[in-house]
Amino acid sequence: GAGVSQTPSNKVTEKGKYVELRCDPISGHTALYWYRQSLGQGPEFLIYFQGTGAADDSGLPNDRFFAVRPEGSVSTLKIQRTERGDSAVYLCASSLRTRNEQFFGPGTRLTVL
Amino acid sequence: GIQVEQSPPDLILQEGANSTLRCNFSDSVNNLQWFHQNPWGQLINLFYIPSGTKQNGRLSATTVATERYSLLYISSSQTTDSGVYFCAVGHGGATNKLIFGTGTLLAVQP
């Protein structure tokens, strides 16, 4: 079956702009995670959804970052007033249940000029 | 928080050689996964292995949870094995968020 998909694959924006990144998890997966990967480092956790609710948003760096999953499937990560330091690859992962194996999408490469 | 360390940080092999990658973690874990990140950035699942031993073709992995380490074995390496190998652990609570190690950069030369 289809894996996790993310759109867009690349996003270039200017400092101060608003961006939305989309994640389509594997069908039937109830747990969804967002991670961020900076150059030369491993991915770092941002936020976790179980169903529609954000059960853990402890990894969001500040209040410019927000994510939703209104119907328990597709999720959108929203970044307001982007800064150059937000440039990174944003990865989405899903798992069948919370403690199951996580599968990652191809990522969205965000560049803030 | 939990620390996840991988060794070696870099490894260069000739095609056909074998290697062992190590992952040490500082606390008990609920989950442990090994990934291969290919040159295009895609994280490919290798093993879901909170404990025990698994094998898949030329790759195998062993996790000794009581001693807080995991090993990834690559046999008869191929150039397509090149890339970064990450160990990631799920730690504590109901979230199972993954904490990634520092990675091992593997280059397999023909």
Kindly give the confidence (pLDDT) of every residue in chain A, 113 residues in length, as a single tens digit, with 9 standing for 90 and above.
589 999 999 999 999 999 999 999 999 999 999 999 999 999 999 999 998 988 899 999 999 999 999 998 999 999 999 999 999 999 999 999 877 899 999 999 999 99
Contact assignment for A42 to B103 by CB distance below 8 Å:
yes
Residue A13, domain member (yes or no) = yes
Unique residue bearing structure tokens 């698994």: B54
User: How far is C-alpha B14 from the geometric centre of its chain's CA atoms?
Assistant: 20
Look up the CATH number of the domain holding residue A31: 2.60.40.10
The answer to the question of residue A48 being in a domain is: yes
Asked, for residue A89, whether it belongs to a domain, the answer is yes
Confirm if B61 and B34 have CB atoms less than 8 A apart: yes
Question: Which chain B residues are closer than 8 Å to A99 by Cβ?
Answer: 30-31, 90, 96
Q: What local confidence, expressed as pLDDT, does residue B40 receive?
A: 87
Range of the domain at A11: 5-97
Q: How far is B103 from chain A (nearest CA, A)?
A: 7
B71-101 pLDDT, tens per residue?
999 999 999 999 999 999 997 677 889 999 9
Number of domains in chain A: 1
- Whether the CB-CB separation of A77 and A34 falls below 8 Å is answered with yes
Q: Is residue A14 part of a domain?
A: yes
The residue to which tokens 């046999």 are assigned: B75
Q: Establish if A39 belongs to a structural domain.
A: yes
Strand-pairing partners, residue A75, are A23
Q: Which domains does chain B have, with CATH numbers?
A: 4-109 (2.60.40.10)
Residue A63 inside a domain? The answer is yes
Picking from B28, B32, B33, B43 by the largest number of A CB atoms within 10 A of its own CB, the best residue to mutate is B43
Q: Is residue A106 part of a domain?
A: no
> Would A104 be classed as within a structural domain?
no
Grouping H, G, I as helix, E, B as strand and the rest as coil, residue A44 is strand
CA quadruple A77, A81, A82, A83: dihedral sign: negative
What token pair was written down for B53?
């031993």
